[in-house]
Structure 1
């Protein structure tokens, strides 16, 4: 029996500079940046004081006062994105068997903002070592347990099938979608609402990245602070956001006349078992993940039209990725446009993999490759076509999207037009 083929039929995005898939794509296609000085709290004590924040009003985006009180910001972003994705898919939840609809949500740091805020309250601004729990919100347990994210999305879309949170650091957004694909392929679900969400812009997160000097100290020029593949880059810009998709079996989508954005044709993940935060320069594990994803997709390296890079803007990552593309794609790597949207929307940790999947399917939809903003001085060791500054008209029938995360996680996903590959 042929394996079930899984396609994207709905897209929802809540990201810096553009809430909703249309606003998000407008930002990317025009090469604008959404990075700025941090406004959520006073960042003056920190080394890096820039971020990509979302101007997000949960009530204006359909959340009730009770939902706002109950949910951490990251859960709110996920629910808003999920509702958009379901509406975009044209599915009527009431017409589906709820036990055949599942949810997978990725997150690296869970309810960081909610926990940070509540700790300040119960400790009276950190003055009391023995905290007073009576000052905490009634739903503090939901902040502590990231599984609440999947539960909130499931309630919002009426899903009563498999419900999972995937937390694999900065590859969570790719891995959660990859897990959802497998659930459909194996027959455990017919429809999956899958994606990721993180809202990490908080003092504790800034302190952690300051300690290892991973984030940029370019505080005097926030708009141009994120510089993937540029010789002057000096760390990533923290971001926040969410992207959620409706995934379903290809033939079922065709029977109901759904709009198909792309097929998730191949996916693989590897771990380098090398260092918690370090990467070897040869890119071997990422190259292996890419090769396995291509094999699963039954595509050759020459079939890839565009690479949506992890492109964090750290020297070790950008060089590691460049080596991985050359190792896995060979000479075709030099002919393939590569870009990093983190130059525009920052690095939202576990959410970014799903946000980059959204960028990839929209690039296919519009025949446009988003640019790498702020790329003025190419690093000689990063010598591929990184689409500097300006979006490019480009036929994109097959896209490779990759992610790299602390802990050594390396993930790759191949998205293709269903007619690009045989059953």
Structure 2
């Protein structure tokens, strides 16, 4: 019999406040946390706004040695892991370390530290030939993405499967989906899974500037992220992280753990066609949604809330809207849909996990977070996007989706354990 997988711990670091409580307070109040970039001089860039996290590594309890060798994204992951473990009440020291796994997602990994090292080695780009005598002793920690899940593994004593998942902006969904599979197949009993990204650096900002994917609405940072709005013109880059404790349902139930939700279904697809292009009919995402619902043994009408990718680009929001109609039929017009990127921006590979956290908390509190900054209806986006203010309603089942460069489309179904009987 396939084991059921539940989430018993949450840890979040996101713009607007550190920790799960601060994150939910922001979302439920419909506040935005996007602002002008303060990490570097962005005056020469097309898009000069971002969702920055006010993160203090020392206050988080990281040692000076950890702060020295860990990239900022790794620090986020470790801090979130500690919060998720404490939240779960799980004593990992009492568990078999060979039955504990880690699945971490990231799109750009340690890009921030790599760029900083290049600036040192090349004297801020003035020297064509870099000087290796200035090379950091921790360069390997920045160069190898596998170091990031290894740090999480050391934090929890995981000696089972430890994996890095990096497939763009669906990484945060796919890393959790992989962790679920490890437990279902019996390879692990506990998996710490999630994602982290800290991409607010000149090189990453320049990349998105070049393809005009980010919004140039620099004069109004708080209202610049406008998913599904008729005036949307690109996403707001952000940083963030979220980590979860995944467990076998029976084990969690027996130890009396608080269960946020069961992961009922997960699926990912690729269009194998274009790096950034999306078909207007939403076929690729719709297929991932159908497969995830089938795995959860649920009909589309069971979905109480859709946590959308909702990046705020013209193309993505049209694609998603079509995908929801294609996969859910008439029910798409009855189910609330919202994008939290309107409040915390788009943290690339991390956002899928950050959105899973929002979905779990929607179930926990029976509240649908809003789509902030949605004032101007778009005729092509004609569903219920919960504009401006959160909505209290019963939430038993959430569909959360992600879309990423490379043609990746992922979907996950989260529900109360009692929704589907064993």
Bin of the TM-score, shorter chain as denominator length: over 0.9
Deviates more, 1:404-413 or 1:157-166: 157-166
* Number of equivalent positions: 422
Residues 1:354 and 2:353 are matched in the alignment: yes
How far off its partner does 1:148 sit?
Answer: 0.8
Task: Calculate the TM-score normalised by the size of structure 1.
Answer: 0.99
Give the match for residue 402 of structure 1: 401
Give the match for residue 141 of structure 1: 140
Correspondences of 1:261-300 after superposition (within 5 Å): 261-300=260-299
- CA distance in 2 between counterparts of 1:150 and 1:265 reads 25
Q: Name stretches of at least 5 consecutive residues in structure 1 with no aligned partner.
A: none
Deviation per residue, 1:313-364 (Å, 9 max, x gap): 0000000000000000000000000000000000000000000000000000
Correspondences of 1:195-274 after superposition (within 5 Å): 195-274=194-273
How far off its partner does 1:6 sit?
Answer: 0.1
- CA distance in 2 between counterparts of 1:136 and 1:13 reads 33
Residues 1:25 and 2:24 are matched in the alignment: yes
Partner-residue secondary structure (3-state), 2:273: coil
Q: Check whether the contact 1:6–1:181 (CA below 8 A) recurs between aligned residues.
A: yes
How far off its partner does 1:136 sit?
Answer: 2.5
Deviation per residue, 1:6-40 (Å, 9 max, x gap): 00000000111021100100000000001000000
How far off its partner does 1:94 sit?
Answer: 1.1
- CA distance in 1 between counterparts of 2:33 and 2:333 reads 29
Residues 1:112 and 2:111 are matched in the alignment: yes
How far off its partner does 1:132 sit?
Answer: 1.2
Task: Calculate the TM-score normalised by the size of structure 2.
Answer: 0.99
- CA distance in 1 between counterparts of 2:162 and 2:115 reads 26
Partner-residue secondary structure (3-state), 2:74: helix
Give the match for residue 418 of structure 1: 417
Partner-residue secondary structure (3-state), 1:149: helix
Deviates more, 1:150-159 or 1:189-198: 150-159
Partner-residue secondary structure (3-state), 2:290: helix
- CA distance in 1 between counterparts of 2:33 and 2:142 reads 27
Deviation per residue, 1:170-217 (Å, 9 max, x gap): 000000000000000111100000000000000000110011000000
Q: Name stretches of at least 5 consecutive residues in structure 2 with no aligned partner.
A: none
Give the match for residue 183 of structure 2: 184
Q: Check whether the contact 1:18–1:26 (CA below 8 A) recurs between aligned residues.
A: no
Residues 1:379 and 2:381 are matched in the alignment: no
Q: Check whether the contact 1:52–1:345 (CA below 8 A) recurs between aligned residues.
A: yes
How far off its partner does 1:134 sit?
Answer: 2.1
- CA distance in 2 between counterparts of 1:375 and 1:256 reads 43
- CA distance in 1 between counterparts of 2:172 and 2:93 reads 27
Partner-residue secondary structure (3-state), 1:194: strand
Give the match for residue 69 of structure 2: 70
How far off its partner does 1:54 sit?
Answer: 0.4
Residues 1:36 and 2:35 are matched in the alignment: yes
Correspondences of 1:117-128 after superposition (within 5 Å): 117-128=116-127
Residues 1:309 and 2:313 are matched in the alignment: no
- CA distance in 2 between counterparts of 1:52 and 1:322 reads 25
Deviates more, 1:319-328 or 1:267-276: 267-276
Give the match for residue 342 of structure 2: 343
Partner-residue secondary structure (3-state), 1:239: coil
Q: Check whether the contact 1:367–1:396 (CA below 8 A) recurs between aligned residues.
A: yes
Partner-residue secondary structure (3-state), 1:238: coil
How far off its partner does 1:152 sit?
Answer: 0.6
Q: Check whether the contact 1:191–1:248 (CA below 8 A) recurs between aligned residues.
A: yes
Partner-residue secondary structure (3-state), 1:263: strand
- CA distance in 2 between counterparts of 1:348 and 1:70 reads 22
